[in-house]
Structure formats: structure tokens, C-alpha cells
Amino acid sequence: MPPSRSGRARRPDLRALRAALPEPVRAVVTAYERHLGLERGLSAHTVRAYVGDAVSLLGFVVDGGDEVAELDLARLRAWLAAQQSGGASRTTLARRAASARTFTAWAHRTGVLATDPGGRLAAPRAHRTLPGVLRAGQAGEVMQASAAGAAQRDPVALRDRAIVELLYATGIRVSELCGLDVGGADFSRRVVTVLGKGGKERVVPFGVPAAEALADWIDEGRPKIVAESGGESVEPALFLGVRGKRVDPRAVRRVVHDAVSAVPGAVDMGPHGLRHSAATHLLEGGADLRSVQELLGHATLATTQLYTHVTVDRLKAIHDRAHPRA
């Protein structure tokens, strides 16, 4: 498939492709989807990604006149080669190869495949890069701008300030923030309990500014939103949208974007950028990698180690500017 004008490969309509699969193949996809969601407890977004890759792979196999049981290493490599020809990046190819390995391992365990060809499938190593991060001073200015917006005690502004403060204070993911319930915040210990990837629960601390912003939202802002939305909300969510329902990740991204855009020179970012900024500032402040890994909920230390590149790059830039022999 040719790349789009933006340079990215246009992915086929996977719903249409799934519907066009033979019924026995669709049954395999449905069973795999059930395994990912119910047995492994993956998020809906992750399940969609894994299932989409499985549909793409199985559609490629079936279009080639083969049966699912004939899926082997050569067909897996041919599928990846077709993705590459369509303009997929190294990072995308690496992710889809990993997704294919997950599918073939499951298919072998359940008897769909006699062997597991995915165990021998290699793919280009992904380019692991991080988005831009705020400087510590810029992060402080973002928080000040958010606090200034909440000075008039508008309920939405109070919510937005609490969202920005909590995201930066904890480094939690946007999905984890949106999934928080009122009871998930413990003010006596200043911690929030979040449900991360794979249904793993963890406890993350937050500081005094975030506690104050959260208290203002819970005591003043949230009750007004509930009242204005037509009465007592049935949602236990900590953060609500203007209609009294659990806040949507897209709304949180707009909140962060607007807060960051108020600071001249700050790189444009969403919640993920605040997460990266929090991790970078923790490491720059002397936190050890293991502690940051636990706070962020990373499955492996290798993911957390990416942030050391950011801090080293900053140190090198400072050295180049300040040292007379640089």
C-alpha cells in the first residue's frame, strides 16, 4: 500500500478486512480478541492494536490462497516485507513483528498452529525516541498559568488545574488519570492508586501543590459540575466532563495543550509530554532509575533508561555553553 502525502503508510480498513475473512478465520480472530481482553486483561486500545495486526496478517495469508494452519516463517516475513513496501517505519515494523509473535504463540498454544513460527521472526530494531520535554522552570510556569486560570473559581478551570498538576506531579498516563475514581486519591498520605497497563495497580505519590489543586476541584469544582449537569452524577470518576460524565482522554489532551501553549518557548505537548517531563526532572533531581521505573509503571528498566539520554544531552548542552574548554 503506498504511503500517504504525509509520508506515513495508509493502513487498510481493518473492519472491512475482518468482515471479508472466511468465517473460520474470523472465529480465530474472535477467540484471540477474547483471550487478549478477558484472559490477559489488556486495555481496549491495546486489544484493538493486537487484533488489527492479526487481521492484517491473516488477511495477507488468506489472500495468498493459504490456510491459517499454513502460516510459517516465510509467510510472516513476506507480510512484514509488504508492510515495509507500503511505507511502514522501522518502529512500526518492530511493533507489528512483536504483535505477530504474540499471535503465533497464542495460536500454537491453542492448537491453531502446529508450531510457533513467530519465535524465529526478526524485525528491524525500533528507533526509540522521546518527545521534547519542558525545562523545570517552564513546568513551573505551566502550573502558574493553570493556577491563574483557576483564580476565578470556575469549575472547569479548577478541574483543568488539578489535571495538569496531578499529571506532572505523578507522571501517570492519561488513561490512568481518566480511570481514577474519587476514592483513588488518598489525601492523608498524598498518593493516588491507579490501574496501569495489564491491569497492574500501583500507588503514586503527589506533592502539596497537586493536593491543593485536587482539594479545590473536589470541594468546589466537581459539585458544581454535577449540579450543572442535572443532578447527582452516577459517575464515581474523579475528573468529570462538562456533562457530568467521566472525562475523555481527548479533553485532557486539550487541557494540557492549552496550559503549555500559555508559556512562551515551551514545546507543544500533551499528557505524554508531561509524563516525560516529570520523569526527566526526577532523574535530574537525583532519583534512581528503579524508583522512577516503579513510579511510571514501566515493565522493564530499559524503558526508563531512555530518560537518561535526555538528561545526559542536557548536561552536554550546559557543558558546551558554560565550560571554557568546551
Residue 215 has pLDDT above 60, yes or no: yes
pLDDT for 103: 95
Is 281 in the active site?
Answer: no
Q: How far is CA 237 from CA 100, 182, 320, in A?
A: 36, 6, 48
pLDDT of residue 316: 66
Confidence (pLDDT) at 94: 87
For 37, counting Cβ atoms within 10 Å of its Cβ (0-12 exposed, 13-18 middle, 19+ buried), the class is: middle
Sheet holding 201-205, edge to edge: 185-186, 191-195, 201-205
pLDDT at 186 over 60: yes
The pLDDT of residue 75: 93
Q: What is the per-residue pLDDT for 4? A: 40
- The mean pLDDT of 140-152, rounded to a whole number, is 93
168 is catalytic: no
**pLDDT score of 104:** 95
Q: Which amino acid is at 293?
A: Q
- DSSP, collapsed to helix, strand or coil, labels residue 261 as helix
Per the rule left: phi > 0, alpha: psi between -120 and 50, beta: everything else, 87 is left
Longest Cα pair distance anywhere in the chain, in angstroms?
Answer: 71
Determine the average pLDDT of the residues in 150-165. Answer: 95
Q: Is residue 108 annotated as a catalytic residue, yes or no?
A: no
- What pLDDT sits at residue 137? 93
Among 96, 159, 173, 222, the one annotated catalytic: 173
- Tell whether the model's pLDDT for residue 1 goes beyond 50: no
From 11-25, 39-53, 239-253, the region with the lowest mean pLDDT? 11-25
Catalytic residue among 96, 275, 276, 281: 275
For the residues 209-222, what does the mean pLDDT come to?
96
- State yes or no: is 32 an active-site residue: no
In whole numbers, what is the pLDDT of the chain averaged over residues?
86
pTM, 2 dp:
0.64
Q: How confident is the model at residue 3 (pLDDT cuts 50, 70, 90)?
A: very low
Half-sphere exposure of 90 (CA within 13 A, CB side): 6
Q: Identify the structural domains of the chain with CATH numbers, from first to last.
A: 14-120 (1.10.150.130), 136-322 (1.10.443.10)
**Angle at which helices 44-63 and 23-34 cross, to 10°:** 160
pLDDT tens for residues 42-56?
A: 888 889 999 999 999
Cell of 196: 496501569
Q: What is the pLDDT of residue 310?
A: 60
- Cβ neighbours of 276 (radius 10 Å): 21
Integer Cα distance of 177 and 198 in angstroms: 16
pLDDT tens digits, 62-118: 887 778 898 999 999 999 999 888 888 888 888 899 999 999 999 999 999 999 999
Place 218 in a pLDDT band, splitting at 50, 70 and 90. very high
pLDDT at 176: 94
Active-site residue 272, yes or no?
yes
Question: 204 - beta bridge partners?
Answer: 192
Counting other chains too, the contacts that 114-119 makes at CB distance below 8 Å and 24 or more residues apart are: 114/69, 115/72, 117/71, 117/72, 117/73, 117/75, 117/76, 118/76
Predicted confidence band of residue 9 (pLDDT cuts 50, 70, 90): very low
User: How much of the chain exceeds pLDDT 90, in percent?
Assistant: 56
Q: Please tell me which residue in 197, 224, 245, 257 is annotated as part of the active site.
A: 197
pLDDT of residue 255: 96
Which range (5-14, 90-99, 233-242, 304-313) has the least confidence?
Answer: 5-14
> DSSP characters for 35-63?
IIIIIS---HHHHHHHHHHHHHHHHHHHH
Active site residue 173: yes
